[in-house]
Structure 1
Amino acid sequence: MSGTLINANMVDAIALPRVVWLRPNLIGLAFPLMKLLPARFIIRKALESGELTPGGLIAETTSGTFGLALAMVARLGGHRLTLVSDPAIDAPLKRRLEDLGATVHIVEKAGASGGYQTARLQVLERVLEENPGSFCPRQYDNPNNPGSYAPCAELLAHATGGIDCLIGTVGSGGSVCGTSSYLRLLFPELQVIGVDAHRSVIFGQSDAGSGRLLRGLGNSLMPPNVDHTAFDLVHWVGAAEAFRATRELHQRHAIFCGPTSGAAFLVADWWARNNPDALGAVIFPDEGYRYQDTIYDDAWLEEKNARLDVLPDGPVEWDRPHDGDDPWAFYRWGRRSFDEVMGAEAGRLEPVA
C-alpha cells in the first residue's frame, strides 16, 4: 500500500475505505465512495495508453455512484463528461453530476428486453459515434475495473494479517471479484460470498417484472467482469430486508451507508454469528446521504411497503437458483462457472456490450 499522499486531490484523499471493526470476527471496509477506485484507475490507464487524450470526452452509462466518481475524476482532470441514465437516478445525484460539469441524458423508455440497460447502451453508442475520439470506461467489461482493487486487498491484508471470508454485493463485478482475486494470492482458501438482488440475472434469476426497488447491486444484463468461479456462496436479499439492515448498521455501529451496504451487512453479520472462530470482511460501498429522504425516512418505507421492524434470523437455503418468493435466500455456488450451475439456461442471457 502506498504511503501518505502529498498534495492529494479530493479523489486521491478519499479513494480508500476506513477500516471498522463490527465484531471480534468481522471487519468492515467503509468507503465514502467506492467507485472512485475504478473510475480513477480506468481513466489513468486510458490516458497512459492513449485511448483518452488530455481534455477528451468521457461517456458512460450509469444511474449510480460510478457516474459520480467519473464526474469527480473528470472535473479534476479537465475532461468533458456525458452520462446516460434513466428515471431511476435520484434528483439530488443528477444535480450534483451537473454541478460538476457532466451532461446527463435521461432515457425515458425501457428496451424490449434488458430493461433500461439496453436502451441506455443504445444511446451511449450514439454519443460515442457522434464524438470521434471519445472514451467509454465500460465498467461492466473493462478489466481495469476489478484490477483497480489491489489497494483494497492490500489494506485488508495489512489490517488483519489473514482473512477467512470476504462478503460484498455484486453489480458490475468489480469490487468483490477484484478484491478477492488479489486476496487469494495471499489466502488461497478465502471464502467469497456474493450478495445479489432479486430479479437480477447475475446469478440465475430472470429480470421479469424488473424495476427493482433495491438499487446499486444486481443487473438486468450479464456483466462480463463477473467471475462466477470466485464465489462459494450467493445470497439474494429483498429490498425491505436490505433497508432494515441499513438502518441497523447505522443504529448499532453509527455507520451511515446506503442500501448496498445494508444488504452486505445483513449477510456478513449472519456469517459472523455462525462462524465465531473465523475472520470475515464486508465491503460497504458508499455513504448514506443520498438516502436520507428514502431509506432513512419511515414514511417513505411505509409508502413503498418496504418497512420491517425486525430482521429475519437467517436465510432460506435453495437447492438451485430460481425466481423464488423467499425474501432472503442463499445457494452454495461452489466456485463454478455460470454454465456449470445453470446449464442450458446460461445461453439465454445477453451480456452487457
Structure 2
Amino acid sequence: MPVITVPQEFNEEDLYVDLEPMTGQRLFLKCEGFNFAGSIKLKAATEMVESAERRGVLTPDSILVESSSGNLGVALSMIAASRGYRFVCVTDSRCNLATRLMMEALGGQVHVVSDEHAAGGLLGARLAYLRGLCAADHRYVWLSQYHNPDNWRAHYFRTAPAIARSFPRLDVLFIGVGTTGTLMGCARWFRTWDRPVRIVAVDSVGSAIFGNPPGRRMIPGLGMSVRPPLLDEAYVDEAVRVEEADAIRTCRKLARRGFLFGGSTGTVVSGAMTWLARNGWRGLTPVAIAPDLGERYLDTIYQANWVQALYGSDALGDVAGDRPTNAAGGRIR
C-alpha cells in the first residue's frame, strides 16, 4: 500500500492499454496520466525542480516561473504548493479553462498571452513576457523546459527503463513531441539498449519542430512554432505528422470504448496507427506513450459544437460505427 507525504511521490509507471481490440492493430499504450498532476509532465517538473534545488538555483524566496500550454504548468503548480514556492505560469489562449482553473486552485498565478509575437507567434510572446519578468526581479527562477536538459533526463532515468522492463522485446516506440524532452530522453536510453528500437516521433500538422512552416494549432500540448533547442534528430528514426481533426476523431473513438484520453494522446495514437497500417504491424511489439487524460478537454475535443465550428462535422467521427459488437455480432447500444 503506497503511503506518500507529497503529491509528486505518486506516479503509476506500469499501466498499459492493449488497443488491438479497439483498433484492429497491435499497439500497447503506456498511460502517463495517473498521478496528481494528470500527465507525463510531472516527471520533467519534478526533475527540473529537484535539480535546481540541488544546485542552489532555487532558494526559499524564489518565485518559479515557466511557459506552458498547460500540463507542465499544472505539475509545477502542484510541486510549488507542496514545497512552499510561489509559481507563475505564462500561457496563451489555447490553454483550456479547466487547466487554468486547476493551476489557480493549486495556488499558481496564470498569465494568459493573447497577442502573437511578430517572429515567434504565441510562444514568442510568452517567452518575451518571461524574459521581462526575470529581468525585473531576481527572485524569478525560470526553469525553461525548452532548454533544460533535466527535461529529457527525467525520461532517460524513468520512462525508458520502465518501458524496457515491461516490453523486453520492444520493436518500435511512438512518442509525441513538444519540447522533445520525452523523445530525447527515451531515444538516448534506447540507443544504448541491447536490441534496436525504432523511434518514431509524432508531431501535429502546423508544428515547426521538424522544419515545416508553423500553422494553426488549436489543441495544446504537442507541437511548437519553432524548432525545440533540445531536439537532436540523429536520435530520431522517423517523424509522423497528424492533422488535429484526426487526433480528435481518435480521442472520441477511444472514449466510445470507455477510455477518455487527452489531445496529445489522441495525436500519438492516430500517428502510430497510420505508421503501423503503412509499415505492417504483425510480429512487431509496438508501444506508444500516452501523455495525458481527457478530463481537461471536455469543453473542446469532447464538445461537439467546438469541434464542428473549428474542424467540421467529419471530425466528430462515426459514433455509431465505433460501438463495440456483442458475441452475436450485433451492435451494443
Bin of the TM-score, shorter chain as denominator length: 0.7 to 0.9
Tell me if structure 1 keeps the 8 A contact 2:241–2:271: no
3-state DSSP of counterpart to 2:225: coil
Which position in structure 1 is the counterpart of 2:31?
A: 30
Q: CA deviation at 1:192?
A: 0.8
TM-score, normalised with respect to structure 2 = 0.86
1:9 maps to 2:36: no
Equivalent residue letter for 1:27: F
Which position in structure 2 is the counterpart of 1:194?
A: 201
Which position in structure 2 is the counterpart of 1:142?
A: 148
> 1: distance between equivalents of 2:223 and 2:16?
25
1:152 maps to 2:159: yes
TM-score, normalised with respect to structure 1 = 0.81
Gap regions ≥5 residues in structure 2: 34-38, 320-333
Tell me if structure 2 keeps the 8 A contact 1:55–1:78: no
Tell me if structure 1 keeps the 8 A contact 2:69–2:95: yes
Supply the RMSD in Å over aligned alpha carbons. Answer: 2.0
Tell me if structure 1 keeps the 8 A contact 2:63–2:87: yes
Equivalent residue letter for 1:197: S
Q: CA deviation at 1:168?
A: 1.5
Residues 72-123 of structure 1: CA deviation (Å, up to 9, x unaligned): 1111111111111222222222122112111212223111111011111111
3-state DSSP of counterpart to 2:260: coil
Tell me if structure 2 keeps the 8 A contact 1:60–1:138: yes
Query: % of aligned pairs identical?
Result: 29
Residues 223-250 of structure 1: CA deviation (Å, up to 9, x unaligned): 1111211211111111111100111223
Aligned CA distance change for structure 1 residues 6 and 154 (closer, same or farther; 3 Å): farther
Which position in structure 2 is the counterpart of 1:170?
A: 177
> 2: distance between equivalents of 1:127 and 1:171?
24
> 2: distance between equivalents of 1:199 and 1:101?
33
Q: CA deviation at 1:25?
A: 4.3
Q: How does 1:81-120 map to 2 (within 5 A)?
A: 81-120=87-126
> 2: distance between equivalents of 1:94 and 1:85?
9
Aligned residues: 305
Residues 125-157 of structure 1: CA deviation (Å, up to 9, x unaligned): 111122214321110110000100121112111
Q: CA deviation at 1:22?
A: 2.3
Which position in structure 2 is the counterpart of 1:121?
A: 127
> 1: distance between equivalents of 2:224 and 2:7?
30
Q: CA deviation at 1:284?
A: 0.6
Tell me if structure 1 keeps the 8 A contact 2:63–2:141: yes
Q: CA deviation at 1:267?
A: 2.1
> 2: distance between equivalents of 1:43 and 1:128?
17
Segments of 4+ moved more than 3 angstroms: 270-273
Match of 1:234 among 221, 231, 239: 239
